[in-house]
Amino acid sequence: MRPSLGVGWLLALLSAGLQILSFPSLDLYFLSWICLTPLFVVLIDRRYAPTIFRCVLLAYFCGVLWYAGTCFWIFHVMHVYGNFPRSVAAGLLVLFCLYLALYHALFGLLLGIVTRWRALANARALIVAPALWVAVELARAHITSFPWDLLGYAQINNVPLTRIATVTGVYGISFAIALVNSVLALAFLLPRERRMGVALVGILGAIALESGVLVSYPAAPSDHIAELLQQNLPIMEQSWAPAYYDLTMAQLVQLSTTASGAAQKSAPPPLIVWPESPAPFFTSDPRFDHWMAALAQDSHSYLIIGSLGVNPGARPDKSLIFNSAQLIAPTGGFVSRYDKIHLVPFGEFVPFRNMFSFAESLTHDIGELSRGNQRNVFRVQEHGIGTFICYESIFPDEVLRFARNGAELFINISDDAWYGEYGAPEQHFNMVRMRAIENGRWVLRATNNGITASISPLGQAVAELPRNVRTVLQAPYSFESGTTFYTRHGDWFAHLCAIISILALFICVLSGTVKPA
């Protein structure tokens, strides 16, 4: 292998490392401005990638490392909760990385093709690189339904920059980051006499945009208080015997009742939120109904409770079970239920069951869940509340539908204990914060073991609980009736980038001006 080709692999490795460092739990978000630069350089410079095939390989290698370093928590889930041996869990993580890294490979293929179009050969191909990157992120969200840690989330703490998301969604921020990386990559590809000037433009642009993290969050006025319960229940409880069930419910209800007592003085009925829970809180269980009705009546509160919704069938084994959020009125009456629509593959259902029967151990506690079919909005004191559950929070185009349906407040209930202690809880939390920004809504986030927080429409965690403790958060919030451009028009920008990418490829291929690979 020629030395220059070996350097190409090192640059791909460097890009993967910088992408990993740009996200939690290391929080080196400023590295996002340079994380794609080595990858762009290696894909465009013929010394490192003389063929399109090598572009694909280098990008794929970068993607495998990126997913391994960012989604390493998959190993924890498979080993601890799937009961797989360490070697098998590690193998499943590798397969996961090999699969999802195909999107990096796709980006390498697209940029490789455009690079070899004579009209955009070499450095000029960087003009379309940001659009290609966003188009691939959009594909990741819709084809495999795993838009985890899109590039734009790396700037979640940048108040001025995140204003872009109210128009374009998170994809606009991804585009801005990729654009700065393109300018820096251009500096490496130009002749030496022009290199310094372009590099200076890129560096100054990165500094100017990153300086937004120094801007403090403005005051977030709120006129309501909700109570968010953090249950801190074990994920894999061996036995929920009746005595243990009643003891646990008594403790949780007492904690909620005590905390809400002071809040309701000279105030309308407060709102109490229980998270998505690992406990067997079936809506068909009379014990569960009794405890929830008693809590609502004693606290004079509206309740939104994470539960397992049951639609009875002709036989008990034919009943449909949903991951649900239940609305209960202060009178103790059950008002409405939202059933989770976007389920977690291999966690709440097993796709292609005949091929992946080994993964059924991940769903053995409750069996395979059913999908909801309607994003209904709860009505509380003439206000609309949209409740999305756990995994649904990573899909921007799905969450915005609650706002379109009249939700003036978002509630996210989740159980992030599955992920373990590192990386994923913070990553997931940042994605929820972006949903608040995109739609201009407060988000009340109640989780089993953290991160439980009240999030302002600017994405600020106004109040937050420490993880792994059983306690209650008095969470400020307000109802917001206005809608953002993004709420009204959705992922128009990402689709525009996809159209630009398709047109570029169409012209490249049909014009016959693509240079040989």
270: nearest Cα among 307, 308, 229: 229
Task: Quickly count: other Cβ atoms within 10 Å of residue 64's Cβ.
Answer: 22
Q: Which two tokens stand for residue 269?
A: 């009925």
Burial class (CB in 10 A: 0-12, 13-18, 19+), 154: buried
Q: Which two tokens stand for residue 507?
A: 């012209």
Cα(392)–Cα(50) distance, integer angstroms? 41
Residue type, 278: P
The torsion region of residue 478 among left (phi > 0), alpha (psi -120 to 50) and beta comes to beta
Compute and round to an integer the Cα radius of gyration of the chain: 25
- DSSP conformational letter for 315: S
Asked if 390 is an active-site residue, the reply is yes
Q: What are the CA-CA distances from residue 258 to residues 251, 279, 282, 318 (Å)? A: 11, 22, 24, 40
Q: Which two tokens stand for residue 256?
A: 């909620």
Choosing from 340, 348, 426, 438, the catalytic residue is 340
Give residues with Cβ within 8 angstroms of 19, minimum separation 6: 32, 35, 36, 62, 66, 69, 70
Is residue 515 within 8 A of residue 121, CB to CB? The reply is yes
Q: End-to-end CA distance of the chain, in Å? A: 18
Return the residue matching tokens 């004693």. 298
Secondary structure string (H, E, C) spanning 45-59: CCCCCCCHHHHHHHH
Cα(482)–Cα(403) distance, integer angstroms? 9
Asked if 340 is an active-site residue, the reply is yes
Choosing from 137, 276, 392, 480, the catalytic residue is 276
Give residues with Cβ within 8 angstroms of 259, minimum separation 6: 227, 472, 474
169: nearest Cα among 499, 507, 486: 486
SS3 call for 395: coil
Choosing from 55, 390, 497, 508, the catalytic residue is 390
| 396-425-224 Cα angle (round to 5) | 65
Residue type, 158: N
- CB < 8 Å & 24+ apart, contacts of 417-422: 417/234, 417/235, 417/278, 417/448, 417/449, 418/77, 418/81, 418/235, 418/347, 419/73, 419/76, 419/77, 420/73, 420/76, 420/77, 420/80, 422/25, 422/72, 422/73
Residues classed as catalytic: 276, 340, 390
